[in-house]
Structure 1
Amino acid sequence: MVLSAERVQLNLLQLSAAGGPPRDSPVSTVVTAATWAVGLQAVRRAPLTPSLLSQHFSADPVAASIMKIHTFNKDRERVKLGVDTIARYLDNIHLHPEEEKYRKIKLQNKVFQERINCLEGTHEFFEAIGFQKALLAVPDQEGPEEFYVLSEAALAQPQSLERHKEQLLGAEPLRATLARQRRIFRPSALASQFDLPADFFSLTAEEVKREQRLRSEAVERLSVLRTKAMREKEEQREMRKYTYTLLRVRLPDGCLLQGTFYARERVAVLYGFVREALQSDWLPFELLASGGQKLSEDENLAFNECGLVPSALLTFSWDAAVLEDIKAAGADPDSSILKPELLSAIEKLS
């Protein structure tokens, strides 16, 4: 099959501080590689950049500029200092609307240069809320200097300036989270076959092939000499190659539950993912890896530490006591256990 890529969706709850109430969840998009979801649109996965953010918040440039300020400037103390300084500019305008001097900000001013100009997104913020650049004469100085000047239209809407100030002060850095891209498949003999896109690997496809060839040659030369510690070290190095892992869980009725995870996420995350899909989500269950190895929900192990990368097929099993209760009640232990709304979207694995 061609894998429907996982999508990385922005934590929209954090947008509430920058653009009002959280929006609806992003619309699902099917591609063959990981994607970023920004706002309500999806694009092919790439580093989250200021231009990408502006593109997807073009309808709300104020929100976009605020997110840039808080997301792309890593020095949090410097961000706070710059944001507080901008807030003071706006407070002065709000408190002294008749005084023209507060509506002008000299761009070469030392405070502006040291606290604001150095932050990405600040110029976009000023322009989005109604400031315009202008060359103005300065007393006792030969040539003009560049200023930000608040437009008359923006000055006539003090409530908007106050709202934008509060949004700026209350915003948080935008965080990316991995969308699980949950899918349900009918029972299939292809359950253990995975076709992964290139972005599941930290290396390019060519680099992976080259490393595999070199490793095979090295193994032939050193297989007799390698100690157990050497083999374990090599296995760990192999595991770090993967960015994501695609996991399938075979359920008692043979159906398959699939999701995408970061390779370094913990096993407990998979238990939570499965539990969310169950009709009886309060009943204890177990997940077994190949060979019948039980994966403990309580162990603080990552998928790449368990060998569950870049893909794996696991088996769902009810806790032994639950299974006995099911049988004692005369129920079929192999009946469907998924929520009806998930079964309604079941697919054929091909």
Structure 2
Amino acid sequence: MRFIISLLQGSNVPVKDSACFSVSGVYFICPLTGAVLTKSEREVRIKEAILMHFEKDPLEASIMMIHTFNKDREKVKAAVDIISRYVDNICKNPTEEKYRKIKVSNKVFQEKVSCLEGSREFLQAAGFEFTVLQVEGKEDKEEFLVLAEQDSNQLEQLKEMKDRLQKGEPLRPQLDRQPQAFRSSPHATHFELPLDFYNLTAEELKKEQQLRTEAVERNAMLRTKAMREREEQRERRKYNYTLLRVRLPDENLLQGTFLARERVAALYKFVRESLVDGWQPFELVAPGGQKLKDDEEVAFNECSLVPAALLSLSWDAAVQADIAAAGGPSPSLLKPELLENIKNLV
């Protein structure tokens, strides 16, 4: 298997035309808009999509804000717990005004709730309104978040809002597999990967190329098992993504991009969804002849499938015999939308 690392300009290493890459880069899909995003723009574009979602569903957008914009999970949990107590107290004491008023200057509110992006927006979406009120015993008025008295239906809705907040998760961009079919090619094991695939800077990659030139000498040395294992662990940490190709029984190739830490089951799912007869049982075989199981919990970076690899697909022999007896398989293995864009691998 041949891998070529492509570096950034300024690293004294020639930069190849992007057309030479096995894949142009790593991309993501915004789960809200379906837009395809680059690595560098994904965080900003996800944030924009959430803010735009306010027009459609202010409550859902505020929940996304809380769980996505705030990176400290402990602080998010603390804020969610406090807001949940606000709601619980209101539902238990619906006629008591004090539970429906939150003093904005309150220390706990300021330090635990208000400081988190999306918290005020959630309370407003739940029905709270900013109001300036006179405080007994004080000359100056103070700002409060006030909720009007709720009827039984509104209280149930408030509980549902709390449940949605508690079950909220960060909105994460989905890795774009970039599925691509290729015709049979002698270059199936040749990969040229862009910088996106590596968990290294340009200078670190430059050093990596130097290390690779010394690989022959290093491999000639007698190394202990512990030394080899340490080197393998170091190798795994270099890669964030892996480019995998699967050779089908008709010799066509199917290519997709995966996270290096994803499980083998993700590849099985990807292949199954790409086949016309995805129901048929099949087996994937790694470059070294290792048979990978569909339910295997091992990650790609734990079974030498990073930063790229060519695997083979073989059908279940017994099922194939039954299909042949019944009149034969489908004329094409891959779905039409993949075959419409099939390319030559050069």
TM-score with structure 1 setting the length: 0.71
Indicate the residue corresponding to 2:82 in structure 1: 82
**Is 2:53 the partner of 1:57?**
yes
For this pair of structures, how many residues does the alignment match? 318
Q: Distance in 1 between matches of 2:49 and 2:329?
A: 51
Q: Distance in 2 between matches of 1:163 and 1:45?
A: 38
On the 8 A contact 1:252/1:316 being kept in 2, the answer is yes
Q: Deviations over 1:69-114 (max 9, x none)?
A: 3454523752442231342476489x44xx8766642112355346
Q: Distance in 2 between matches of 1:85 and 1:221?
A: 62
Which blocks of at least 5 consecutive residues in structure 2 are unaligned? 1-18
On the 8 A contact 2:239/2:307 being kept in 1, the answer is yes
On the 8 A contact 1:38/1:53 being kept in 2, the answer is no
Relative to structure 1, the CA distance from residue 301 to residue 91 in structure 2 (aligned partners, 3 Å threshold; closer, same or farther) is closer
Indicate the residue corresponding to 1:37 in structure 2: 30
**Is 2:144 the partner of 1:147?**
yes
Q: Deviations over 1:260-309 (max 9, x none)?
A: 22212222332232223333334332222335443344544321122111
On the 8 A contact 1:135/1:147 being kept in 2, the answer is yes
Q: Distance in 1 between matches of 2:218 and 2:254?
A: 42
Indicate the residue corresponding to 2:258 in structure 1: 261
Indicate the residue corresponding to 1:23 in structure 2: none
Q: Distance in 1 between matches of 2:318 and 2:175?
A: 34
Mapping of residues 90-169 of structure 1, within 5 Å = 91=91, 95-96=94-95, 104-110=101-107, 112-113=109-110, 116-117=113-114, 119-129=116-126, 131-149=128-146, 163=157, 166-169=160-163
On the 8 A contact 1:183/1:259 being kept in 2, the answer is yes
Which blocks of at least 5 consecutive residues in structure 1 are unaligned? 6-30
Deviates more, 1:48-57 or 1:287-296: 48-57
AA of the residue aligned to 2:179: R
Q: Distance in 1 between matches of 2:279 and 2:271?
A: 11
How far has the Cα of 1:220 moved from its partner?
Answer: 4.2
Q: Deviations over 1:110-155 (max 9, x none)?
A: 55346533544212223445545454432222333232246xxx88
Secondary structure in 2 matching 1:141: coil
AA of the residue aligned to 1:74: R
Relative to structure 1, the CA distance from residue 222 to residue 185 in structure 2 (aligned partners, 3 Å threshold; closer, same or farther) is closer
Q: Distance in 1 between matches of 2:20 and 2:127?
A: 48
Q: Distance in 1 between matches of 2:49 and 2:90?
A: 25
AA of the residue aligned to 1:87: V
Relative to structure 1, the CA distance from residue 178 to residue 130 in structure 2 (aligned partners, 3 Å threshold; closer, same or farther) is same
How far has the Cα of 1:36 moved from its partner?
Answer: 4.9
2:276 is aligned, of 261, 276, 279, to 279
How far has the Cα of 1:191 moved from its partner?
Answer: 3.1
Q: Distance in 2 between matches of 1:251 and 1:64?
A: 43
Relative to structure 1, the CA distance from residue 125 to residue 88 in structure 2 (aligned partners, 3 Å threshold; closer, same or farther) is same
Indicate the residue corresponding to 1:336 in structure 2: 332
**Is 2:242 the partner of 1:252?**
no
Higher RCO structure, 1 or 2 (CA under 8 Å, sep 6+): 2
Secondary structure in 2 matching 1:274: helix
Secondary structure in 2 matching 1:69: helix
Indicate the residue corresponding to 2:304 in structure 1: 307
Relative to structure 1, the CA distance from residue 114 to residue 293 in structure 2 (aligned partners, 3 Å threshold; closer, same or farther) is closer
Q: Distance in 2 between matches of 1:134 and 1:238?
A: 58
Q: Distance in 1 between matches of 2:20 and 2:213?
A: 28
Q: Percent identity?
A: 51
Relative to structure 1, the CA distance from residue 39 to residue 160 in structure 2 (aligned partners, 3 Å threshold; closer, same or farther) is farther
Deviates more, 1:158-167 or 1:130-139: 158-167
